[in-house]
Chain A
Amino acid sequence: MTKVILNMSVRFVVLILIQVLIFNHINFMGYINPYIYILFIILFPANNNRTLFVFLGFLLGLCVDIFSDSGGVHAAACVTIAYIRPVFLKFSFGTVYDYQSIKFNQIDFGSKLTYFSALIFIHHFIMFSLEIFNISKILLILQKTLFSGIFTILLCLIITILFSQKRK
């Protein structure tokens, strides 16, 4: 248990630092940035303490917000995906999975992709809507959501593959 807490704390800090120091400055094609820090929310162990999890999501978003001067847009998006994550766990992995015992490095690629994409697109959509805050620019919001989302999904998949511990 202590090991899990320590592991999660390290992941929390490292993901925020990598996000604000490297991935916020990629600006591919002028405006496409990946937001890989939400890997923390995506890969958080699925246990019963959802209140704590929602709070951690908020804290994660707020930290990124403070670094990037963006008000509360990351916090709002993170809190939302942290809250609705169980729905997508069930949706992607089916009810056969008792979602207390999912091991994220043992699931097949298809359901992993569905799960990642759903959460990432919802996060990006909320974030860009709040950042642009203008309903007449809905096309810009959708465009940013789509391109940044694809970039984030690719990077998240690569990172999870690189760092998965397969002991045989």
Chain B
Amino acid sequence: MQQIINFVLRNKTFLVFLLLFGLSLFFTIQSHSYHKSKFINSSNMVTGGVYQVANGIGQYFNLADENKALLEENRMLKTIVYNLDLDTTRLELENFKLNPSYKFRTAQVYKNSYSQTTNYLTINKGKKDSIKVDFGVVTSKGIVGIVENTSQNFSSVLSILNTRSRINAQLKKTNHIGSLVWNTESAEFAQLIDISKFAPLNIGDTIITGGQSTIFPKGVLIGTVNSFKIDNGGDSYVVNVKLFNDMTNIGHVYVIENLQAAEIKSLQKPKND
């Protein structure tokens, strides 16, 4: 017994090192599996607060660009609304409250990264604003990511520029579906894989989200086909997608809640569970 204690005391630095190294490996491996990175994330009070202060200083430098983006989006929406041949006098938000499928909330990005292989964003809405895990995040130009962790006031968002991100997507002109992933090489491009080789692909085709996931509505813009090739198996295309969003410059985002997600999920669950 005495010898064991002596051994521990003599090698205590090494043992502490082993323990702490093991702990950090545990955190690392945990962060590589989806929906399990619960301890180490930037959506807690301290880090969120620090990013909030920093953002309060930094956001004034982007105000002009933000305004321009908002104006552009308003122009687009107004063009659509007034060309739809609707009775615009009745077009109030209240009329859509009867049976909506999607609810939109706005949020501001406090932290955005795009140079790592696992990138996350931190936004300034959390549980208090009823943001929950698995809500979709988009901008007016296109898709951004999926909410992964929430705290009272902040949420961390799994960016589409993350090797763990996998998003259901499809061609705009046909219904061929695939998965949107990222090969870490450039923040401007994501890759669409598993798309059937019978799909009529052309360079410049638009890629949108598919309706198969309960996270995004069908038709959120993703990007255009930049180049494509048959993958090693020979059955499907690997498409290089140029993203509409400039992922390096994201200010305000919309968080999408699918109000029918629970219903769809309960329907898809096998009955003999």
Q: Which residues of B contact A (CB under 8 A)?
A: 12-14, 16-17, 20-21, 23-32, 37, 40-42, 44, 46-47, 50, 54, 113-118, 120, 122, 156, 184, 186-187, 248
Contacts and interface: CB of A to CB of B under 8 A. Distances in A.
Given A61-B24, A65-B27, A71 B32 contact: yes
A92 interface: no
Contacts of A32: 115
A131 B119 CA distance: 11
Residue picked from A55, A67, A69, most chain B C-beta under 10 Å: A69
Contacts of B248: 27
A50 B13 contact: yes
Nearest to B47: A67
Interface stretch (A37-45, A75-83, A97-105, A106-114): A75-83
B108 to A, nearest CB: 16
Contact of B116 (A20, A61, A70, A83): A70
A30 B115 contact: yes
Contacts of A83: 13-14, 17, 21
Contact residues on A (Cβ < 8 Å of other chain), bracket: 35 or more
Given A24-B113, A50-B13, A70-B31, A17 B50 contact: yes
A71 B39 CA distance: 9
Given A50-B13, A54-B16, A67 B28 contact: no
A72 B37 CA distance: 11
Contact of A131 (B114, B118, B122): B118
A73 B13 contact: no
28 contacts: A20-B47, A21-B50, A24-B113, A25-B113, A30-B187, A50-B13, A54-B13, A66-B47, A67-B50, A68-B113, A69-B42, A69-B113, A69-B118, A71-B30, A71-B37, A71-B40, A72-B25, A72-B26, A72-B27, A72-B31, A75-B20, A75-B23, A76-B21, A76-B25, A80-B21, A83-B21, A131-B117, A133-B28
A58 interface: yes
Contacts of B28: 71-73, 76, 130, 133
A140 B115 CA distance: 13
Nearest to A84: B17
A76 B41 CA distance: 16
A62 interface: yes
A128 to B, nearest CB: 9
Contacts of B31: 69-72
A143 B181 CA distance: 23
A31 interface: yes
B44 to A, nearest CB: 7
